[in-house]
């Protein structure tokens, strides 16, 4: 007989921009708070699009968060929370993979939201590796702004060429596979 253990696990919520990753992350973390669990939420320093102390979804829901430069610093909070939420994971360094596994091994629930692909449809930061470490994966879709189909791609409509260019609808659009290839 297998004996159930109280082990931790990793959940990843991925998809293109505007697919509701932050909304879904906030939904899961708020439910954990209702269950009286201690929740800590982190985001990388590079992203300060709306607010410094909150993670904010495109529909303006928000939850208090801690901004860190290095993913290793998340581990310092190991005694302060049962549930670890991480937003914009694509902007964290690759140590996030090891940190997430270490927390899960301690029995923590780690909920990670991030872009799986960049504007060229290439793997983005630690997220694709995290998908193979995760017990649970949710891939969300947005609505293609060109044709209304399901969008799994993020098209950059501005001219910059760096992988990381912070922007919103001024620079990015959710597109389906067909429309991603169009101008
Ligand atoms: P993500 O974290 O994936 O970028 P958010 O949770 O911040 O997404 O925002 C999702 C919200 O964005 C949707 O609920 C909707 O209100 C809005 N939205 C804007 N553009 C689109 C689009 N093209 N398709 C779907 N939702 C969109
Ligand atoms: Zn389309």
At 107-144, the pLDDT tens digits run: 999 999 999 999 999 999 999 999 999 999 999 999 99
* 169 CA distance to ligand 2 middle (Å): 16
Q: Is 11 a catalytic residue?
A: no
Q: Among 1-10, 50-59, 75-84, 126-135, name the one with the lowest average pLDDT.
A: 50-59
Does residue 15 contact residue 152 with C-beta atoms inside 8 Å?
yes
The answer to whether residue 4 scores a pLDDT higher than 70 is no
* 56 CA distance to ligand 1 middle (Å): 11
Bridge-based pairing state of the strands 66-68 and 136-139:
unpaired
Record the pTM: 0.93
**Enclosing H/E stretch for 151:** strand 150-151
Report residue 169 as tokens. Answer: 């609808």
6 lines ligand 1 (CB under 6 A): no
Which of these is catalytic: 69, 88, 135, 160? 88
């Amino acid at each position: 007989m297998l004996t159930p253990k109280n082990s931790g696990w990793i959940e990843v919520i991925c998809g293109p921009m505007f697919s509701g990753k932050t909304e879904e992350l906030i939904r899961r973390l708020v439910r954990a708070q209702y269950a009286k669990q201690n929740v800590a939420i982190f985001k990388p320093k590079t992203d300060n699009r709306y607010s410094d102390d909150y993670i904010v979804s495109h529909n303006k829901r928000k939850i208090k968060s801690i901004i860190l430069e290095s993913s290793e610093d998340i581990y310092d909070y190991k005694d302060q929370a049962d549930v670890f939420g991480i937003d914009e994971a694509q902007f964290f360094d690759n140590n996030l993979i090891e940190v997430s596994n270490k927390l899960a091994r301690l029995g923590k629930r780690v909920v990670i939201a991030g872009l799986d692909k960049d504007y060229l449809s290439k793997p983005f930061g630690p997220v694709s590796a995290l998908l193979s470490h995760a017990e649970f994966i949710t891939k969300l879709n947005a609505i293609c702004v060109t044709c209304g189909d399901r969008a799994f791609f993020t098209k950059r409509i501005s001219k910059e060429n760096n992988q990381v260019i912070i922007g919103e609808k001024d620079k990015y659009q959710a597109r389906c596979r067909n429309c991603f290839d169009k101008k």
